Amino acid sequence: MPNRSLLLKILSAVILFGAWEIAGRVPVSFAFPTFLESMAALVRMTADGTIFTAYAETLKPLIVGVAISTVLGIAIGLWVGLSQFFDWLFSPIFIVMQAAPLAALIPLLVLAYGIGLTSKVLVVCIMAMPVIVLNTSSAVRNTPESMKEMGRAFLASDTAIVLKIIIPAASPVIFAGLRLGISAGFIGAILSELKITPTGVGDIITYSRSIADYPSMYAAIFSIILLAVLFLNLLEKIEVVLFKGNQRGYVSD
């Protein structure tokens, strides 16, 4: 089964990159380079260290924002999921945060917190935290009542029920929320660099576009997608290690 999963992933990548190469050679647009041209630009930026310097800047708000969103998002989600009162009180706030157009909020964040690291971290949090909170609260709220009753029948404390029954049972949806939240966090980090100050990978994208160096621009975008995919796969492995008894298959398997 793992070999089949790997083969399907490789086949999917070959089809995608092949279509990219063909579209670049047609071409669909003068501003759309081929896959090989973009990879050559990525190799060039990797060799001269440009991409590493850029990610040293991009990862600062991303790591801080994702860490804050993960810790606070799961904690608030548990709190909201365990209490109907707090569900009524706080769920609408995070639903509005998720639905609000972020581009319209960025000028307000810049006005309040300037163009430094704080604004960029807040953009990442605004993108990532609502998804994590809502998925976590939904997972906790929908934990089978029979499992909680079983814990009470064995005289388990409320803390033990939360730690040993509710969280493991809710872990698939919680980790699904983490994956979605972290994906949104990547988008927020790049969006903040494009809209607030052109630094890091966002600077490469902006500068490459301004001088019509489209292979470098697409190479930078591809590197973001690649890093996000690797990070999400790592998160999937962590989930399997932490909740071995609650393991389940993925669509890709």
pTM score, two decimals? 0.78
What percent of the chain shows pLDDT beyond 90?
11
The domain segmentation of the chain, as residue ranges, is 1-30, 33-143+173-243
DSSP one-letter code for 30: T
pLDDT in tens, 85-121: 888 888 888 888 777 777 777 788 888 888 788 888 8
Which pairs with CB-CB distance under 8 Å and at least 24 residues apart come from 62-66? Answer: 62/124, 62/185, 62/186, 62/189, 64/117, 64/121, 64/124, 65/120, 65/121, 65/122, 65/123, 65/124, 65/125, 65/128, 65/185, 65/188, 65/189, 66/124, 66/128, 66/181, 66/182, 66/185
pLDDT of 110 reads 82
* Cα 17 → chain centroid: 23
CATH assignment of 33-143+173-243, given 1.10.3720.10, 3.30.200.20, 3.40.1160.10, 3.90.1150.10? 1.10.3720.10
How sure is the predictor about 244, in pLDDT bands with cuts at 50, 70 and 90? low
Whether 144 shows a pLDDT value over 90: the answer reads no
pLDDT in tens, 162-179: 777 888 888 888 888 888
pLDDT in tens, 31-88: 889 999 999 999 999 998 889 988 888 888 889 999 999 999 999 988 888 888 888 8
Rounded distance between C-alpha atoms, residue 78 and residue 238, angstroms: 20
Segment 172-199 mean pLDDT:
84
pLDDT in tens, 196-237: 877 888 888 888 888 888 899 999 999 988 888 888 888 888
| Mean pLDDT computed over every residue of the chain | 83
